[in-house]
Structure 1
Amino acid sequence: MRVLIRSDASPTIGSGHIARLLPLARTLRKQGSHVAFVCRQLPGHRLDMLAAEGFETFALPQRYPGEDPQQAIESLLPWQADIDALAHALDSHPTFDWIIVDHYGLDYHWQTAARRWAPRIAAVDDLATRQYDVDLLLNQNLLGTPQAYASLLPLGCQTLFGPRFAMLRDEFCCPAIPIKPQAKRVLVNFGGFDAAMQTHHAMLAMAEFPELEVDFVAGADNPAWENMQALAADHPNWRLHSFVSDFYRLMTEADLFVGAGGGTSWERAALGLPTICIAVSNNQQANGEAMAASGAHVYLGPREQVSVEQLRQAIGFVAGNPGIRRSMAEHSRQLVDGRGAQRVAAALAGAVLQVRPATADDAQLLFDGRNAEAVRRWSLETGVIEWSSHQKWLAASLHNAQRLLLIAETDDGPVGVLRYDLRGLEAEVSIYLFEERIGLGWGRALLARGEAFAINHWPQLRAITAQVLPANQPSLKVFREAGFTQSACAFTRVLKDDSND
């Protein structure tokens, strides 16, 4: 699979868009996909960093003809000029399977035009303020809901809503950090640029707590850098970082985080790291409020409304209150499990998922997959299958004209198994995923691809049915979302209506 990512970074835009896409890009590459980034050469564009990590990169101009330099913000990006520049950059390059766009300034005009390079477009968003021409939309925030996008998306668009799709690095799929009786170490970070100088304000608030060890991660381009250096020199327990190569380690060593409401919100939640949050941009406010309402962090409000004294009081209250910190940790861990990037990657790969008939060479694969404990738990027959019985069953299945046994595969290997048993004009489907694929959302893609294969194999097919155990809520949900009609725990998907013949 070939994927192109369109996003930007600059002091005005921030680095959050690129930062939240990197875990997905790494996950896709690990699964065998080719991933490329295309960005404008704005100050702080991150293209060098992406290239150093091994991603293919394409550079677009810093400024387009006729563009007002005083209006160099995302909402005013001239989409046609961007498409023209993209055409020049991609000239003679192979097309892509997906284009992912994470940019507030590019709406359905750009998305429609970009289909010349890919048949599928995905958008990453958290505003719900414009029209989209996309095949998949991701909003990883708590307030991302179908209702918010009801009039903005085309029919048939797949949607991924909520923090379970928060795209985090692999290390955030981990145990929670311990909650100590008294917070001793604090981590402060307000993003890669911090144009609003909130790190400096946090320093002023922290000056009242000499007993706390504090790591300030600010970036050397921070407009208050010299003032912060002077403050840090007077506090032996403070460490001011212009760059850190292991931000994750600092997070795991911290007892309290003070920072913005951007992408690190989900990293903190996955770790169960108690947080005092201040929104540094408009798009962070709603999510900051929603996470506070869920008990996941303390939200003080937008930066313009938070004084140094208010921040000082909040730090003192939270640092000395283990019950508050423990409650935040528990609620935040309920929101995020660290597997969001894998779920998004599965949704993208599901669109190009390959399905093939099983062969005798798949005997071991099918044997191990069917006997996995997570699969047997929800099977109608939960016992362990013996190898000799399995061999006989497979041989009989492969020679049974009324049975279709399929294996779904993606770039990095097999995903799951589908079995269709034909009875008259209906076929009953049975489905399971290989153990490492469970919980990532592959089921709907398997059913769609399997259905297409079954219809082509049996043109006379009128309906597909399925039986699901009552307690198997994930499978019940998958079949409902795949268009099956439920009656108790039996599902039917009508393919052809005899009344129209």
Structure 2
Amino acid sequence: MKVAIRVDGNKEMGFGHMYRQRSLSQAFPKDTKIFFLTKTPLDAKAVIGEAQIIALEENDLEQVLSFVKENSIDVVITDNYNLDENYLSELHRACAVATVDDLNHLEKYDVDLIINQNIYGKDLDYNCGNCKVLGGTEYAIIGENFVELDREEKLVNETPKMLVTFGGADKHHLAVKVADALSDFEEKIHAVFVLGNGFEDKELLNKELESWSNSFEILHDVKNMAPVILGCDFAVSAAGTTTYELAYCGTPTISICQADNQKDIAAGMQKAEFSINLGDAQDVLAEEIRDAVQLILLDKELRERMANVGKNLVDGRGAERVAEAIAGLAK
């Protein structure tokens, strides 16, 4: 089977779609030939690593259609909010199409399969004719490095570990905001700051941490987040795809939304009682961060309940289920 994945990512738009497609690509049989088609090839190489990466021009539809025809592609997977109805329809004329979507923002989806991995995914009514829709967290796409973990081995640290992670770029400077909010935090914690390859606030963060009363460590461009997440007692995180990795590991989360497409995730995961939703990055206050950390830190029973909810929501087989459904389109 030959699969082409149409995905972009950079500091401005974020890297979440690329990470998601890297995880999905790992779930296909080893003999599957996979190509990543992208307008951001250098960023793709940094995220995806050793893979067949095809650089696209600005107006790429004709280039993609030619690539599909010349390489006898069986299925194209799209994971990109910028592809419109015409793009998907033209692509569908050339081959089978599976769309990984979060928004249901198009009037019509002319595709064979739609995957919405989000907690609200089952509730959306897609206008896609006879296409199949896979919705909900049972289709949450997380990487094989997470699935290989024994999540039941999660330990409670003597000094609680707090993970701070806001994706590849952290364009709203949230790591610095968290560091500032907790600079004189009285309860004992050990903070683990994970900074992506697009993080540009290193000097500001280091300056904030100079006056910290608690211990901390800074990890840069971590290639395998699974043991880091499993090793932390709770997290302060963006409300994107990482939310489902945190849920799988049973790591209770304080969510801050970096983009509009994260709002429903944060709201849904709070309603399910896995996370505490602090709302938009631009509006969150230092005292709200402090209060949420104090609440989750001091209430062990709350953390245990949140952890169990997360593990029940995400069982780790989402990528496998999605890959099987996509493989079925090629038959």
Task: Give the equivalent residue in structure 2 for 1:5.
Answer: 5
Task: Give the equivalent residue in structure 2 for 1:261.
Answer: 239
Aligned residues: 326
Task: Give the equivalent residue in structure 2 for 1:58.
Answer: 54
Task: Give the equivalent residue in structure 2 for 1:167.
Answer: 141
| Structure 1 position 143, deviation (Å) | 1.1
| Structure 1 position 209, deviation (Å) | 3.0
Which runs of no fewer than 5 residues in structure 2 stay unpaired?
Answer: none
Task: Give the equivalent residue in structure 1 for 2:35.
Answer: 36
* Distance (whole Å) between structure 1 residues aligned to residue 230 and residue 328 of structure 2: 34
Question: Deviations for 1:147-174, whole angstroms, at most 9, x for unmatched residues?
Answer: 531xx21x22011000000111224334
Conserved? CA contact 1:179–1:326, under 8 Å: no
| Structure 1 position 231, deviation (Å) | 2.7
* Distance (whole Å) between structure 1 residues aligned to residue 53 and residue 116 of structure 2: 25
* Distance (whole Å) between structure 2 residues aligned to residue 221 and residue 159 of structure 1: 33
- CA 41–197 in structure 1, closer or farther in 2 if over 3 Å, else same: same
Task: Give the equivalent residue in structure 2 for 1:230.
Answer: 207
- Secondary structure, aligned partner of 2:196: coil
* Distance (whole Å) between structure 2 residues aligned to residue 183 and residue 96 of structure 1: 52
| Structure 1 position 82, deviation (Å) | 2.0
Tell me, yes or no, if structure 1 residue 337 matches structure 2 residue 311. Answer: no
* Distance (whole Å) between structure 1 residues aligned to residue 143 and residue 198 of structure 2: 25
Conserved? CA contact 1:166–1:336, under 8 Å: yes
Conserved? CA contact 1:8–1:40, under 8 Å: yes
* Distance (whole Å) between structure 1 residues aligned to residue 196 and residue 314 of structure 2: 27
- Secondary structure, aligned partner of 1:343: helix
Q: What is the correspondence of 1:338-417 to structure 2 with a 5 Å cutoff?
A: 338-353=316-331
Letter in 2 for 1:5: I
Question: Deviations for 1:183-240, whole angstroms, at most 9, x for unmatched residues?
Answer: 6111100110110111111111222336311111123542322111223345472112
Q: 4+ residue stretches of structure 1 with deviation over 6 A?
A: none
Which protein, 1 or 2, shows the higher relative CO under an 8 Å CA cutoff with sep ≥ 6?
A: 2
Conserved? CA contact 1:141–1:287, under 8 Å: yes
Task: Give the equivalent residue in structure 2 for 1:402.
Answer: none
Task: Give the equivalent residue in structure 2 for 1:122.
Answer: 98
Conserved? CA contact 1:208–1:312, under 8 Å: no
- Secondary structure, aligned partner of 2:43: coil
Letter in 1 for 2:167: G
Q: What is the correspondence of 1:442-453 to structure 2 with a 5 Å cutoff?
A: none
- CA 181–254 in structure 1, closer or farther in 2 if over 3 Å, else same: closer
Tell me, yes or no, if structure 1 residue 201 matches structure 2 residue 197. Answer: no
Q: Match for 1:156 among 124, 130, 153?
A: 130
- CA 91–344 in structure 1, closer or farther in 2 if over 3 Å, else same: closer
- Secondary structure, aligned partner of 2:151: coil
* Distance (whole Å) between structure 2 residues aligned to residue 222 and residue 335 of structure 1: 30
- Secondary structure, aligned partner of 1:305: coil
* Distance (whole Å) between structure 1 residues aligned to residue 60 and residue 263 of structure 2: 29
* Distance (whole Å) between structure 2 residues aligned to residue 310 and residue 285 of structure 1: 17
Q: What is the correspondence of 1:4-23 to structure 2 with a 5 Å cutoff?
A: 4-23=4-23
Identical aligned residues as a percent: 29
Task: Give the equivalent residue in structure 2 for 1:278.
Answer: 256
Letter in 1 for 2:171: A
Conserved? CA contact 2:117–2:138, under 8 Å: yes
- Secondary structure, aligned partner of 1:159: strand
* Distance (whole Å) between structure 1 residues aligned to residue 69 and residue 326 of structure 2: 24
Conserved? CA contact 1:232–1:239, under 8 Å: no
Q: TM-score, normalised by structure 1?
A: 0.61
- CA 172–206 in structure 1, closer or farther in 2 if over 3 Å, else same: same
* Distance (whole Å) between structure 2 residues aligned to residue 147 and residue 215 of structure 1: 36
Task: Give the equivalent residue in structure 1 for 2:195.
Answer: 218
* Distance (whole Å) between structure 1 residues aligned to residue 209 and residue 196 of structure 2: 14
Conserved? CA contact 1:183–1:320, under 8 Å: no
Conserved? CA contact 2:183–2:211, under 8 Å: no
* Distance (whole Å) between structure 2 residues aligned to residue 48 and residue 180 of structure 1: 33
- CA 181–83 in structure 1, closer or farther in 2 if over 3 Å, else same: closer
* Distance (whole Å) between structure 1 residues aligned to residue 123 and residue 294 of structure 2: 39
Conserved? CA contact 1:5–1:35, under 8 Å: yes
Conserved? CA contact 1:185–1:255, under 8 Å: yes
Conserved? CA contact 2:3–2:74, under 8 Å: yes
| Structure 1 position 182, deviation (Å) | 7.0
- CA 136–91 in structure 1, closer or farther in 2 if over 3 Å, else same: closer
Conserved? CA contact 1:180–1:322, under 8 Å: no
* Distance (whole Å) between structure 1 residues aligned to residue 247 and residue 254 of structure 2: 12
* Distance (whole Å) between structure 2 residues aligned to residue 9 and residue 156 of structure 1: 30
